[in-house]
Amino acid sequence: MSSQLAALNQWVEEVARLTQPEKIHWCDGSDVENQLLVDLMLSNGDLMRLNEETHPNCYLHRSHPDDVARVEHLTFVCTSEREDAGPNNHWMAPAEAHAKIDALFEGCMRGRTLYVVPYCMGPIHSPLSRCGVEITDSPYVVANMRVMTRMGADALARIEREGTFVKGLHSIGELDPDRRFIMHFPEELTIKSYGSGYGGNALLGKKCHALRIASHQARSEGWLAEHMLIVGIQNPEGETHYIAAAFPSACGKTNLAMLIPPEAYEQAGWKVWTVGDDICWMQAGEDGRLWAINPEAGFFGVAPGTSSKTNRNALDMLDHDAIFTNVAVTADNQPWWEGLMVGEPAIDWRGRPYDPANGPAAHPNSRFTVSARQCRSYSPHTEDPQGVPISAIVFGGRRASLVPLVFEARDWNHGVLVGAAMGSETTAAATGKVGIIRRDPMAMKPFCGYNFGDYWAHWLSFNREGAKLPRIFHVNWFRKDGDGKFLWPGFGDNLRVLEWMINRVKGDAGAVDTPIGLLPHHRDLNIDGLSIGHADVEQLLAIDEHAWHQEYRDIADYLDGFGGRTPELLRQECARIRGALAS
């Protein structure tokens, strides 16, 4: 055995001594293995088979009702210096954190099987990819990791070649919210997660590895690990522009990544190519451009709101070989959620007969897990080892008021400020109150594995000689009118906004200069065929300077909260805009 695998074996043995499993299973990722796991879960109640005629190989998982979302208050970044984790993270000293969580792991797998899950984040032959091994006692986690990552024998072979991998230890424990922690040790490339089976808490390749650990690693190695979708927009001339977009959880990444063009656009020859829907790893190429890969291999998407009208590409990939978590089911055992627009719920997400008095039939954060290969718009370039070149970076939030439909940053440094200043209403993707506006820089508030001040400095450092950086934009699909209705139709019609961006990149579109950035003039935005009127567009593109003045006061205070770690350039940029707003 190679010394690399010897190190892995030794860690597995150590963990087994601590957790005392009945059996140890090394996952190879094969179909046979998956079938055995599915059969096991069907027999122990972890999974229920859905309607085999309408949804072959589709399963429903009902989680513990107290375990339905990420738990930010129990998520820690454990660097040796508190300042390195920053005010944006909960921090615990590494030794204390290990002791606390190891005490929970002690003997926790008695009578259970310990699964060793080798995985690769990113195309298996890409130099940008990174490997990890998750140890878990949850077959549901194994089945999900198999869809979400390149899991099994090939990953193990790469680990053997490279020697380095991220260690992730996970147990569902008692699923007790009072005995639950998600701990990260970026300096040790280690994750320990106890007491939850939910996606972002338990599928350790996703947010824990590909964002918190990877962002920390990316800073020291000179690349970026971001909470961004990657989409390719092909125009009628046949050119494809790749756009990376950061929106907070449940704010539209999956939907934008697999957008269906409005009919007139489709007829004119526009095409949309999905590369990724949640995470993007980017690096400067030799040509000075930023090149991006999607480290994931599947989608763990929000079910509610997905319909043939809003996202046909998503719906069409969900009628076979998919895992559903916490959705409702119809009388004939088909998956159902709010916004599906067909069928009716018979049983709610907790397994009770549906009663509107109990709230929504599907949990608002109910999810589907599906291989990216099942998506019709899946881009063949997703597998390119060098990634795809990024033409534009888009930041966006869920803001009922103030923030216009779209604006462009003046330059890279201004764009970094626009990202750092992002605010968004909280959603059901994390526990806690929904609809509260909070600062969520680059949509990374729950996911940045180090101090935001250092993170912004890292972003600014990409602006160097020879760099051909993407343009930076900000969007808001969620602006509401006086009656609480969305002003912008969203979904497929968001292509109209992307078209303006691409034309800006090419130098073909106009813009109006304002203190907060460059906005399209309403003639620059194609609204042909939309039911919204001129007045709505006017409102969507209006700037209330007085309210923005307040907003920027708040932004300046927020940046000050990071003390000496906030880059001076960012403060200057902020001061410049405040000055322009005041005058």
Contact residues for ligand SPV (CB under 6 A)? 70, 199-200, 206-207, 249, 278, 300, 429
Residue (300 or 548) nearer to ligand SPV, CB = 300
For residue 493, give Cα distances in angstroms to 118, 238, 259, 327, 470. 40, 20, 9, 27, 23
The answer to the question of residue 213 lying near ligand GTP (CB under 6 A) is no
Among 19, 254, 369, 426, indicate the residue that binds ligand GTP (CB under 6 A).
254
Applying CB under 6 A, which part among 90-98, 149-157, 245-253, 525-533 lies near ligand GTP?
Answer: 245-253
| Size of site (CB under 6 A) for ligand GTP | 22
Contacted by 199, from ligand GTP, ligand SPV, Mn ion, none: CB < 5 to 8 Å by type: ligand SPV
Q: Which of 539, 537, 543 is nearest to 577 (CA)?
A: 543
Residue (218 or 475) nearer to ligand GTP, CB = 475
Q: Are 228 and 390 spatial neighbours (Cβ–Cβ below 8 Å)?
A: no
* 471-510 residues near ligand GTP, rule: CB under 6 A: 477-478, 486, 490-491, 494
Q: Which of 496, 253, 507, 281 is nearest to 394 (CA)?
A: 253
Site string for ligand GTP, 63-102 (x = CB under 6 A): ----------------------------------------
Measured between alpha carbons, how far is 298 from 295 in angstroms, rounded to an integer? 10
User: Is 131 one of the catalytic residues?
Assistant: no
Please state the closest distance from residue 250 (CB atom) to ligand SPV, in A. Answer: 7
Measured between alpha carbons, how far is 271 from 283 in angstroms, rounded to an integer? 26
Helix-helix angle 139-148:31-44, to 10 degrees: 140
Residue with the CB atom nearest Mn ion in the bound state? 278
The answer to the question of residue 252 lying near ligand GTP (CB under 6 A) is yes
Mapped onto helix, strand or coil, the DSSP state of residue 137 is coil
Contacted by 207, from Mn ion, ligand SPV, ligand GTP, none: CB < 5 to 8 Å by type: ligand SPV
Contacted by 254, from ligand GTP, Mn ion, ligand SPV, none: CB < 5 to 8 Å by type: ligand GTP
User: Which one-letter DSSP state was computed for residue 389?
Assistant: E
Please state the closest distance from residue 289 (CB atom) to ligand GTP, in A. Answer: 25
Amino acid (one-letter) located at 202: A
Beta-ladder partners of 117: 134
Q: Which one of 58, 251, 375, 448 is the catalytic residue?
A: 251
Mapped onto helix, strand or coil, the DSSP state of residue 274 is strand
Helix-helix angle 568-582:412-420, to 10 degrees: 90
Report the interface residues with Mn ion, using CB under 5 A: 249, 278
Provide CB contacts within 8 A for 363, sequence distance 6+.
Answer: 68, 326, 327, 349, 428
The answer to the question of residue 317 lying near ligand GTP (CB under 6 A) is no
Measured between alpha carbons, how far is 304 from 310 in angstroms, rounded to an integer? 11
Contacted by 310, from ligand GTP, Mn ion, ligand SPV, none: CB < 5 to 8 Å by type: ligand GTP
Please state the closest distance from residue 221 (CB atom) to ligand GTP, in A. Answer: 25
The answer to the question of residue 310 lying near ligand GTP (CB under 6 A) is yes
Residue (207 or 219) nearer to ligand SPV, CB = 207
The answer to the question of residue 144 lying near ligand GTP (CB under 6 A) is no
Judging by beta carbons within 10 Å of its beta carbon (0-12, 13-18, 19+), is residue 44 exposed, middle or buried? Answer: exposed
Residue (141 or 541) nearer to ligand SPV, CB = 141
User: Which one-letter DSSP state was computed for residue 486?
Assistant: B
Site string for ligand GTP, 424-453 (x = CB under 6 A): -----x------------------------
Please state the closest distance from residue 567 (CB atom) to ligand GTP, in A. Answer: 27
The answer to the question of residue 518 lying near ligand GTP (CB under 6 A) is no
Q: In the structure encoding, which two tokens stand for residue 526, read together? A: 């194609």
* Cα angle: 396, vertex 255, 60; to 5 degrees: 125
Q: Are 270 and 234 spatial neighbours (Cβ–Cβ below 8 Å)?
A: yes
Give the ranges where 110-208 is alpha helix by DSSP (H): 139-148, 153-162, 199-202
Tokens 């949640």 belong to which residue? 278
**Chain centroid to CA 61:** 21
Applying CB under 6 A, which part among 303-311, 348-356, 383-391, 457-465 lies near ligand GTP?
Answer: 303-311
Please state the closest distance from residue 480 (CB atom) to ligand GTP, in A. Answer: 9
Residue (191 or 501) nearer to ligand SPV, CB = 191
User: Which one-letter DSSP state was computed for residue 261?
Assistant: P
| Interaction site with ligand GTP (CB under 6 A) | 247, 249-255, 277-278, 301-302, 304-305, 310, 429, 477-478, 486, 490-491, 494
Residues with a catalytic annotation lie at 251
